A = this chain, B = another copy of it.
Amino acid sequence: MAGQRIESHAGDIDRLLLESFLNCGARFLSGEDLSTAAQVSRTTVWKRIEALREHGFVFESVPSRGYRLAGLPDFLHPAAIAAGMKTGRLGKTLITYTETGSTNTAIARLGEEGAREGTVVLAESQFQGKGRLGRVWASPPGVNLYGSVLLRPPITPLDAPQLTFLSVVAVARTISSCTPLTPVIKWPNDILVNGRKVAGLLNEMTAETDRVTTVVLGFGVNLNMTLEQFPPELRHPAGSLLLEGGEPIDRICFTRRLLEELDGLYHQYLNGGYGAIREEWISLCGVIQRRVRVDDGGAPSREGVAVGIDENGALLLRRDDGRVESLYTGDVSLCG
């Protein structure tokens, strides 16, 4: 299915059908029930179920009883993610590419073309997966989650870095809720489990001087990646939730939960500001009150104690002479 693009919109037939199945537990639904739920003819119901089967959905059908959903595909099918998803702004439009350069680039193009706030792009694999500062993000097919969300927040460019912390907190919450693992945030935009990087966030914005046009929240989460799938050289030890926890992750459930967390935090951000999210970020952060070294590429690296983050998202580093510096970029490592 290389390069295929599958779209799902709020109110689409596939979403309505899948929601009916998810709402009824393991019961059979008649063609009549499904026809009423999706407001289409029984012939259309039958055709859509055949189409979903081709995408890997498993349906049992018994002539006198109807259909039962017996299995979801191991594929980030947008209607499967959207069915039963509780969000206000996010995912009314959900697009999955079997392959794309990077989901951030794909959604940025949609943003230029006027795509609405909350549009989500997912990919089964990326051939130009992007990390922070122009680095590469390893993106093998079929095992992980690569995705991007388009926002149009009514904020100035000065406030936009706050949204990175929002998306980091959403991923950490999702790991905590879908696994028994303990995520630790590595400033500014990575998440570690057992000291190994399992997720990275890459937010990008377009803005005029005094207002943001779009913010793209990009996330890569290593879910079921195995050791052989990592590139030989990585800047930081990397892992996956499968490798750290020993259990495979249901990618559809994980993605749905992440979008719900993002949606809730974004609603909170727009209505109540950044304060509570910053507190949660700090509580999840592995470097606060620890001695760290920050390397920002050009200048000699700085050492000090990480004492917090400010309202613009800068890391506050207390140097040995007592001065507190605000750092906006760099790679952090624990000292000693």
Contact = CB atoms under 8 A, between A and B. Distances in A.
A313 B209 CA distance: 9
Interface residues of A, number: 25
Interface string A302-336: 00000000001100000000000000110000000
A202 interface: yes
A160 interface: yes
Nearest to A104: B208
Given A156-B328, A156-B329, A329-B156, A161 B210 contact: yes
18 contacts: A132-B208, A132-B210, A156-B328, A157-B161, A158-B158, A158-B161, A158-B312, A160-B209, A161-B210, A188-B210, A189-B209, A203-B209, A204-B206, A204-B207, A204-B208, A205-B205, A205-B207, A211-B329
A138 to B, nearest CB: 19
A131 to B, nearest CB: 10
Contacts of A156: 328-329
Count identical subunits in the complex: 2
Max chain B C-beta neighbours (<10 A), residue from A207, A208, A313: A208
A210 B157 contact: no
A157 B206 contact: no
Given A133-B208, A158-B158, A210-B329, 14 more contacts: A133-B211, A156-B329, A157-B157, A157-B160, A157-B207, A158-B161, A158-B328, A160-B207, A160-B209, A188-B209, A203-B209, A205-B206, A206-B206, A210-B328
A211 B204 CA distance: 10
Contact of A157 (B132, B188, B205): B205
A164 interface: yes
Interface string A164-207: 10000000000000000000000011000000000000111111
Contacts of A211: 133, 329
A168 to B, nearest CB: 10
A329 B208 CA distance: 10
A204 B157 CA distance: 10
Contacts of A160: 157, 207, 209
Interface string A207-221: 111110100000000
Nearest to A154: B298
For the complex of A and B, list the 3 residue pairs with the smallest distance between their C-beta atoms, beginning with the closest.
A210-B329, A156-B328, A164-B209
